[in-house]
Amino acid sequence: MRSILEGLDPALVTLALDGPVAYRDQYELIYRHTAERPNDTWQADHTELDILITDASGRPERPWLTTIIDDCSRAICGYMVFTGAPSAMNTALVLRQAIWRKDDPAWAMCGIPDVLHVDHGSDFTSHHLEYTVVALKIRIVYSTIARPQGRGKIERFFGTLNTELLSILPGYTGGPEKKPTPSMDLPALDQAIGDFISAYNERPHREINASPKSAWTGQGWLPRMPETLAELDGLLLTVPKHRTVRRDGIHFQGQRYLSPTLAPLVGKPVTIRYDPRDISEIRVYERDTLICVAVDQTNPNQRLSLREVESARRAHRRQLRKDINERIPRIAHRKEPKHINEPSRRRSKLRTYEEDE
């Protein structure tokens, strides 16, 4: 009997005992597609990082990373580190960073891809992203559900990031320490990942025998770009918010934004768009036309994210509730005297006499 079992095809045994998923992962042939030129295909994906950081309240939190990688050169074109679940907003912001020219001249990757390869996450299947890719003439391709092999290049980058960077940072959850103590905040982690990506794009990649940056640059070529950054912002930035211009500016998220260009628009409705990572300024539109960029008058030179503003507002409300509760007069509870129950007197039995019998 044993000899019969040993003579069976291992693939057949795996299919019979472990099911089609295990058989597929072990024995099915994988076709590894590679784009023929830069910006032909981009891959985008999220991963929850194996590290704990401290949030605005000092509590430990596990962040996420969204990355866009060029299929041909393996160059990282854009990324974003954030807390909270992935959303269409975060995806749009990463696309904005990947497509537009970077402030760092060494980070040359930019342009509009022909194909964007994504998974079936709700943010990638949103109407906002669908509208954006149509407007930018990008063909979106969804990978097969539960088949990470379709996004192998970006999955391998996540593994490299985990082993080479996160494993040496404080708060790493994949080490021997069961409950690591976080000491980094979100900006510090963002800076560390940004530095790692800069080095990653410059160092040789063993599969292409060149650095991702040199493979993307090649002999020199012109990527397909949007006409202006304002056009790109109009497509990628968050769902528009409607406001009315007041005499002291535009009020949004408890902040006040002002620009001299708003003078003839006092009392009129406008549409604003903003970058959640930096709400020190907002873009003001009237009838889909960019009017101006209004600046926060309270913190004009300070970069504040929407999440930081909301966290500060919640902390302020909690402090106010605490102050109110402390000011409420408390009624002292008076202890009532305990009544000592006297033992009831036993009734004497009625005596009987001989005459009563």
Model confidence pLDDT, tens digit, residues 117-165: 887 766 666 777 777 888 889 998 887 665 555 567 899 999 999 999 9
Q: Residue 124 has what pLDDT?
A: 64
Using the predicted structure, report yes or no on whether residue 352 has a pLDDT greater than 60. no
d(CA 3, CA 10): 13
Closest CA to 171 of 188, 157, 158, 155: 188
The model's confidence at residue 23, banded by pLDDT at 50, 70 and 90, is low
Question: How many other C-beta atoms can be found within 10 angstroms of the C-beta atom of residue 40?
Answer: 14
CA-to-CA separations, 104 to 72, 96, 97, 276, 336, in angstroms, rounded? 22, 15, 12, 21, 76
Model confidence pLDDT, tens digit, residues 223-237: 999 988 877 877 776
Best mean pLDDT range from 272-281, 300-309, 343-352: 272-281
Q: What is the DSSP string of 204-261?
A: -BTTTTB-HHHHHHTT-------S-HHHHHHHHS-S-EEEE-BTTBEEETTEEEE-GG
Phi, psi torsion values for 64, nearest 5 degrees: -115, 160
Strands 60-61 and 289-296: unpaired
Model confidence pLDDT, tens digit, residues 309-336: 667 667 777 878 887 887 776 555 555 5
Contact assessment for residue 284 and residue 266, using Cβ atoms and an 8 Å cutoff:
no
Contact assessment for residue 308 and residue 276, using Cβ atoms and an 8 Å cutoff:
no
d(CA 100, CA 232): 8
Using the predicted structure, report yes or no on whether residue 71 has a pLDDT greater than 80. yes
The model's confidence at residue 61, banded by pLDDT at 50, 70 and 90, is very high
Burial of 113 (0-12, 13-18, 19+ CB in 10 A): buried
- Structural tokens at position 8: 């069976």
Contact assessment for residue 40 and residue 114, using Cβ atoms and an 8 Å cutoff:
yes
Q: For the residues 24-51, what does the mean pLDDT come to?
A: 80
d(CA 267, CA 263): 10
Using the predicted structure, report yes or no on whether residue 355 has a pLDDT greater than 50. no
Q: What is the mean pLDDT of the chain?
A: 82
- What 3-state class would DSSP assign to 284? strand
The model's confidence at residue 357, banded by pLDDT at 50, 70 and 90, is very low
Strands 115-118 and 139-142: parallel
Proportion of the chain above pLDDT 90, given as a percent: 41
Phi, psi torsion values for 284, nearest 5 degrees: -110, 130
d(CA 109, CA 76): 8
- Structural tokens at position 221: 């070529």
d(CA 152, CA 54): 31
Closest CA to 284 of 305, 262, 301: 262
Give the side-chain half-sphere CA count within 13 A for 103. 1
Complete domains list, the chain, with CATH: 1-30 (no CATH), 41-217 (3.30.420.10), 240-325 (2.30.30)
- What 3-state class would DSSP assign to 341? coil
Find the range with the poorest average confidence among 59-63, 176-180, 237-241, 272-276.
Answer: 237-241
Q: Residue 91 has what pLDDT?
A: 84
288, containing H or E segment:
none
| CA-based torsion, 183, 186, 187, 191: positive or negative | positive
- Structural tokens at position 304: 């504040």
Q: What is the DSSP string of 103-119?
A: SSTT----S--SEEEE-
